[in-house]
Homo-oligomer: A and B are copies of this chain.
Amino acid sequence: MYELLNKISSPQDIKGRTLTELNAICDEIRQAIINRVSKFGGHFGSNMGIVETTLALHYVFNSPIDKFVFDVSHQSYPHKMLTGRAFGFTDEDSFTKISGYTNPDESIHDLFNVGHTSTSISVACGLCKARDLRGDKENVIAIIGDGSLSGGEALEGLNVASELKSNLIIVVNDNDMSIAENHGGLYSNLRLLRKSKGECECNLFKSFGLDYRYIDNGNDLATLIGVFNEIKGINHPIVIHINTVKGKGSSLAENEKEKFHSTVSFNKETGELVSINSGETYLSVTGDYILKKIKEDKDFVAISAGVPSALGFGFDASKRAVAGKQYIDVGIAEATAVAVASGIAKNNGKALFGTYSSFIQRTYDQLSHDLCLNNSPATILVSNASVYGFKDKTHIGIFDIPLLSSIPNLVYLAPASKEELTSMLEWSINQNSYPVAVKMPGGEVFSANYRVDNDFSDTKYQITENGEGVAILALGCFYKIGVELYTALKKQGVCATLINPRFINRLDENTLDCLKKNHHTVVTLEDGILDGGFGEKIASYYVNDSMRVLKYGLEKEFIDRYNPCDILRENGIEINSIIGDIKR
C-alpha cells in the first residue's frame, strides 16, 4: 500500500514517470485522502476531484520555482502529498503533523497560509508583478474552485488579472458545487460552458478580458498534461476551466456531495459519520430557533454566505427546503450578505445574517457603511467566535470583540446561556431601533441558572450574585468560568459579586459606579483577545479610581491547531491561578 506515494519526497520524483505509473499514483493519493479523512475528518470531495489536475500540474511545472497558490486550500491535499507530506495522510500517527491548509511552515511549495476563499487570483497577481519587475519568467498558477468564484475578491482578481499582460495561469476547478449547492447567476454560465464544451460565446472569463481554454474530462491525466504542456510559459493570463467530478473515486462522496465536502471522521464502507456530539449544541439550539422563527414570521429571512451550518447545526437541505423563500444563500459573498440584510431591514423586513467570526472580518466595511451608518435594524449572528471554535490559524474566531466594538450604532451582545441566546435573537429580530450583533457562545451548552431577560434595549449588566470585595464580570460563554470562580471563592470565604454583562461594547456606567462602593477588585473574563477588548474598556473606565482590575482573555496572535485548555492555561484563565492573582 502507498508503494509509489511513499517514494515521493518532492515533485521531482514524479518527473519522467509513465502515464500508467502516474495513474497508479493517483489511486494511491485517493486511498490516502480516504484514509486521513475517514479517520480524522477534513475536506473530502474537492480533494478527490482535483487529484489528476494536481499531479499534472506538478508533472508539467517546476514548483517551487513555478508558483502555485491554492484558493482556500480545500483542494490542497494531493499537492501536499506530492511535496513530501504523504505521511500526513498515510500514517495515522502523523495526521496531526500537517495542517489541513497550505502552510509555508510545512513546505517551500506552500507560499501562503490560506483558509479563506477567493483570494488566490489577487495574490497571484502580486506574485506576477514582482516577477515581471525582476524580469524573471517563472509560471504563476492560481487554482480556484467554482464555489470560490462567488466571492468579490476573486471577481476583482479576474478583472485585475487581465491587465497583467504577462504569465498567469488560473485553473478553475469546476465541480459544480460550493460547500453546499452553488448560488448565483455566474453558475448558469459555467453550466453553459460545460454543456457547450467551452464553446458558447457568452463566457464569464472572456468578459473579464481573459484568454480561456476548457477541459471537459478534468479527471483524465493525459489530457491535463497535454494542455498544461501547451500553455506552460504562456505570455499572458489564461483561464483553464476544468470540469471535474467532486468526490471522484469515492461513491460516498460522489453521491452525497454536500455531506462529504468537509466531514468529521466516518465509516469508509457505510459513510456513517462518527458522531462527535449527538446532544444539544449551541449550533443546534440556533438552528432550531431559526427554523421556528421562519415558520412563525413570514417577514423573517435567514441569510447565509455559503456556510449554512453557521446558522445552526443541521441547517441541511431538508431544513432549507422548509425555509423556502425565507432563506437566502448568497454564495461565498459575506460583504453582499450584510448589504442584503441592510436592504431587507430598510424595507421593513426582518433579516438575520450568520457566519463564522473568522469570516465576519470580510464584512467590516459593509457592517459600518451599509448597515450601521444607516442604522438598519438587522441582526448579525457571529458563530465560532470562541476559543472553543475553529482551531486552525486561518479560521480562529477570537478577534470579533475589537472588530465589532468600534463600529458606531452597533449593539454587540454576548449571551451566556442557550436561553439567553434565543432570547437575544428574538429581541433583536423583532426590534426596530439599531443593528445588533450576537456572539454565539462557544463550548458546551450552558443552561441559564439565572433569570433571562427578553428586552435588551437598555445597557444594563445583570448582577446574578450580590457580594462585596471582588466583582466578576464574566462575558458570554465565559460566564460559566465566572460561576466556577464565584463558587471557588465562596468556598474560601469570599462572597464575590457575579455579573453577566451581556453588552460587549457598551458600558453600564451605573453598575460600574455602584461597584466602587464596596468592591476593591474587578475581574473581567472574555472569550477573545484582550487587545481592544471588553476588559480593556472596563480597565480604562476605572483607571482613575482605586479599583483594581484583573483582565482575562487571550493574547493577540494567530494561534494554530491548539488545545483550548492549553491556551486558557497559558493566558492565566484557570480558577486557582485567578484566585492567586486576586489574593496577590
Contact = CB atoms under 8 A, between A and B. Distances in A.
A161 B210 CA distance: 24
A208 interface: yes
Interface residues of A, number: 115
Interface in A228-271: none
A42 B158 CA distance: 32
Given A362-B365, A365-B361, A543-B542, A185 B163 contact: yes
Contacts of A351: 126, 130
Contact of A544 (B188, B537, B549): B549
Contact of A115 (B133, B301, B346, B369): B369
Interface stretch (A8-16, A26-34, A216-224, A323-331): A323-331
A153 B336 contact: yes
A460 interface: no
Interface in A526-581: 529, 531-532, 535-537, 539-540, 542-544, 547-549, 551, 556-558
Residue with the highest number of chain B CB atoms closer than 10 Å, among A331, A540, A544: A540
B157 A336 contact: yes
Given A203-B207, A340-B126, A406 B403 contact: yes
A336 B157 CA distance: 6
A322 interface: no
A186 B159 contact: yes
Residue with the highest number of chain B CB atoms closer than 10 Å, among A207, A343, A368, A529: A343
Contacts of A557: 408
A153 B335 contact: yes
A198 B584 CA distance: 76
A159 B130 contact: no
Contacts of A127: 343-344, 346-347
A162 interface: yes
Contact of A540 (B185, B370, B405, B539): B539
A543 B152 CA distance: 43
Interface string A334-349: 0110011111111111
Contacts of A529: 406
A104 B345 CA distance: 14
A361 B188 CA distance: 32
A362 B349 CA distance: 26
Given A111-B346, A123-B343, A133-B325, A185 B159 contact: yes
Interface string A420-442: 00000000000000000000000
Contacts of A119: 339, 366, 369-370
Given A111-B346, A540-B536, A556-B406, A126 B209 contact: no
A393 B406 contact: no
A343 B122 contact: yes
Contacts of A326: 133
A160 B347 contact: no
Given A189-B209, A336-B157, A405-B532, A113 B373 contact: yes
Contact of A132 (B325, B364, B408): B325
Contacts of A349: 126, 129-130, 133-134
Interface in A474-517: 505
A185 B208 contact: yes
A374 interface: yes
A206 interface: yes
Given A111-B346, A343-B130, A151 B153 contact: no
A320 interface: no
A369 B361 contact: yes
Given A134-B299, A185-B158, A113 B406 contact: no
Interface in A164-180: none
B406 A133 contact: no
A24 to B, nearest CB: 35
Contacts of A122: 335-336, 339-340, 343, 370
16 contacts: A122-B370, A123-B342, A123-B343, A125-B343, A126-B340, A131-B347, A153-B335, A156-B333, A160-B183, A160-B184, A187-B209, A201-B202, A362-B365, A373-B393, A536-B536, A536-B540
Given A134-B348, A162-B184, A532-B536, 7 more contacts: A113-B373, A150-B156, A159-B333, A201-B201, A204-B204, A372-B558, A406-B531
Question: Ordered nearest first, which 7 A-B pairs have the shortest CB separation?
Answer: A126-B343, A152-B152, A185-B209, A162-B185, A130-B349, A201-B201, A122-B339
Interface of A: 67, 104, 111-116, 119, 122-134, 150-153, 155-163, 183-189, 201-204, 206-210, 298-299, 301, 325-326, 328, 330-331, 333, 335-336, 339-349, 351, 359, 361-362, 364-366, 368-370, 372-374, 393-394, 399, 402-403, 405-409, 505, 529, 531-532, 535-537, 539-540, 542-544, 547-549, 551, 556-558
